[in-house]
């Protein structure tokens, strides 16, 4: 079993954890959470390139997908645990 088989899930989890750690001290100082998806995508790209040890277009797309899925995962968790009352 090789870790490169599970890169997307591993990168998504790592990006999600880093976003959760940096959310309050960094992104709230930047006046909002608008930059979180962009930061997550860039972080996902860097992690995928680092894990695989090469830079290719398919890995670039995998990094973007992993970063954006971390953002989506966060929204899903927030929707389940903290439902909004605006409905």
Q: Within 10 A of 68 (CB to CB), how many other CB atoms are there?
A: 17
**pTM for the full model?**
0.81
CA distance 72 to 45: 16
pLDDT tens by residue, the chain, 87 residues: 666 677 788 889 999 999 889 888 877 777 767 788 898 999 999 999 998 899 999 999 999 999 999 988 888 888 888 887 665
* Domain extent listing, the chain: 7-78
8 Å CB contact between 45 and 60: yes
């Amino acid at each position: 079993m090789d870790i490169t088989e599970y890169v997307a899930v591993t990168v998504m989890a790592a990006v999600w954890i880093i976003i959760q750690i940096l959310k309050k001290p960094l992104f709230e100082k930047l006046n909002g959470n608008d930059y979180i998806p962009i930061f997550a995508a860039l972080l996902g790209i860097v992690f995928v390139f680092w894990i695989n040890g090469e830079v290719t277009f398919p890995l670039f797309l995998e990094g973007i997908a992993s970063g954006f899925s971390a953002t989506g995962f966060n929204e899903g968790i927030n929707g389940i645990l903290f439902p909004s009352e605006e409905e």
